[in-house]
Each structure stands twice: as structure tokens, then as C-alpha cells.
Structure 1
């Protein structure tokens, strides 16, 4: 049976995954009651785990170094509680080669090498080139489904990645190219990046380090 994380863990973890986020974004990330999320954010601030920063009139919460440690401590305790470390590690091993493919696809979306410039910007004037990238994203979506199901069978908070990636891909297939890699929408790249961050946070790994 899958395990439902506590609201206090989810609020702190949402800040970790989102990087910088206001109250509403934190609450939406795991469909939490906004009032509950707000109260927990203030508690986290009081403990020194998160801090509020503003730039050009836009503000958001971000983790402090102490908050990152606390987040990983809670995630490790939860994973031990559900005896799910082996299952999550197995998914992460399967995820790593797919992650390389996603990075290549996003690079090819941004760049289209020419004889004169191997780093030429992709102006999307070559439909065949773009179709190959979108086909790769579709293939990755097919792989993501089983991995997400395996993760969600252990921890319920992993459940949203598959529908979010599929929704972003639907936008791309409908012709809205912002949903490939933009950071200001829930794009394919943003969803994938969050999943990667979620996996390494859950396993207590730095990015780029494969599990033993």
C-alpha cells in the first residue's frame, strides 16, 4: 500500500522541488489546503529552514542550508519507514539513461547545428528536426509511466509526474512549443527536472551521482 506523506513534510519538500515559490504555489504543488500550507511555511521560517526573498516585486520561499538538511532527514526517515529504498533506487537506475535522452532532446530543441555553426540556435524552421524531438519526448513519456507507477506504489507524492508530463506533451503536440522547455510553465523539462530532484532528494544523493 502506498504511503501518504504528512503535510509538514510536503510543504518543506515543495519548496525544495520548486526552488523559489510563494504560498499559493507551495500549496498547489501537493494539493494542500492553502491555510495549512501558510501556517507550516511560517513554522519552517521560524525554524530557519526557509527564507523569503523578493526581487523586482516578486517574492518566494527558498530552502536554507539547514532546511535542505532537514528536508533530506525527513525524506530518509520516511523512506526507511516504508522500507522503500530498494524500489526507489531501482527506479533511479532506470531513470538515469532516460534522463540523458531528455537532456539531449532539450538541447536539440534549443540548437540545430549547421555546417557553419555547430551551436546554431534552433529557429524551428525545420519541421522534420522538431518532429524528431517531439517523437523522443513522446517515447520518454511512455517510459515515464511505469516508473511513476512503481514510485507511487511506495510513496503517494510521486503520483503526479506522469499526468503532468503528459499534459505538457499534449500542449506541445497541439503546437504550443513553450511547453517543451520553458521554466514559467509546467513544461516537459520542468516536470522532468522536478522528478530528478525528487529522486535524488529522496535518496540523499547529489546530482550526477549514480546509486551504488
Structure 2
């Protein structure tokens, strides 16, 4: 497990640039703990402040490399976690990437064009498929969630985005300005890669 200071710096690798409030939304720490951690990280040179937002520095990334090796040694050696990551990368992750492409584009006369979301039935089918993949992902990542509760938090946030998408808020599928399925999935993927010491597949 990571302590609040380590977790706050780690969260900046998932969001790249963010305020204390935005980081707390991701890592579930009390805002006061995040603010204190950011103050310390800035003083240590691990984080840079920029007009109310924060970003990690190269020194912060080196700090985390040492932290990960210590904090997640047991998780990385667990065969169940290795199997779960293999299943994630070859299965549900590819399915979400494909469904995101299908959401953003639609085939017209044999060519892929931008989806204007005029076809509500088409959109509803994509959201339904994403819901099924989400349910499967909860099972696939269970070995990681048992050792790292933040994995379940990401899955809950994806579920919340799906509920809003089902209600007609289409930005919650792949929008970049909200906690959409695609945005939170990307954060979750980066998180579990860092837990397990893997590289993001090309």
C-alpha cells in the first residue's frame, strides 16, 4: 500500500495535471491529506505547482519507481495477478478500445465517419456492450482489487459514467472534459500497469 504522500504523487501519473480536488476524487483521500501531501511533494521537488494545479516532475517519477518496487513486490509476484493482467490486456481492454472507436465513428457506405449520435439505437447498443464488458472486468481484475482497493474505486467510477451515458449524457462515454468511461478506463489502466510494473501495450 502507498501512504498518503506516495499515493498523491502517484495520482499525478494518472491525471498528468490536476488540482487537489481532482486528485482527491481519483484517490479517495481527504482533501486536507492531498493538500498536505502536495505541499510536501513540492518542497521535495517531486511535484511542480502551476496556477492551482500540479504536475509530477522527473524527480517525482524516480521517487515513485523506488516506491513501487517496495510497495508492490508481493502483488507483482502473485501468479493470480499475472493471469489477471494477461486476461485484461488480451480481452476486456481490447474490447473497450474497439467499442470506443465504434462509439466515435460509424460506417456509412463502407467508410468510417464521425458519429453524430443521431442514431439513438446504435448508441444504446454500444453503451449496453460497454456495460457487459464492465461487468466482465470486475471479475477479471478481482485479484488486483483484493490487494489494492483503488482498483474497485476505478470500476465504480466507470459504472457511474455508464449510468449517466445510459441516461442520455453521451459525453460520459468518451468525453475528455468529464469522468467518462474512456477517461476513467485510461486512468485505471495506467494505475494497474504501475502496480504490476508492466508497460502499456503498443
TM-score, reference length from structure 2 = 0.89
Q: Which aligned pairs between 1:56-205 and structure 2 lie closer than 5 A?
A: 59-80=52-73, 83-85=74-76, 86=78, 87-96=80-89, 97-115=91-109, 118-205=111-198
CA distance in 1, matches of 2:43, 2:194: 23
* Aligned equivalent of 2:199, options 187, 191, 206: 206
Structure 1: where are the runs of 5+ without partners? Answer: none
Cα offset for 1:129? Answer: 2.3
- Maintained 8 Å contact 1:50/1:62: yes
- Maintained 8 Å contact 2:88/2:141: no
CA distance in 2, matches of 1:106, 1:175: 16
- Maintained 8 Å contact 1:5/1:155: no
CA distance in 1, matches of 2:124, 2:34: 41
Q: Secondary structure at the match of 2:169?
A: coil
Q: CA RMSD in A?
A: 1.8
Residue 5 of structure 2 is matched in structure 1 by 8
CA distance in 2, matches of 1:34, 1:20: 16
Residue 51 of structure 1 is matched in structure 2 by 48
Residue 28 of structure 1 is matched in structure 2 by 25
Compare the two structures and name the one with the higher helix fraction: 2
CA distance in 1, matches of 2:10, 2:98: 28
Deviation string 1:32-77 (CA, Å, 9 cap, x unpaired) is 22222212112111222111235xxxx4211122212222321221
CA distance in 2, matches of 1:139, 1:167: 14
CA distance in 2, matches of 1:153, 1:62: 29
What is the number of residues matched between the two proteins? 199
Cα offset for 1:194? Answer: 0.9
> Which gives a bigger RCO, structure 1 or 2 (Cα 8 Å, sep 6+)?
1
CA distance in 2, matches of 1:23, 1:161: 18
- Maintained 8 Å contact 1:88/1:199: no
| Segments of 4+ moved more than 3 angstroms | none
Cα offset for 1:190? Answer: 1.2
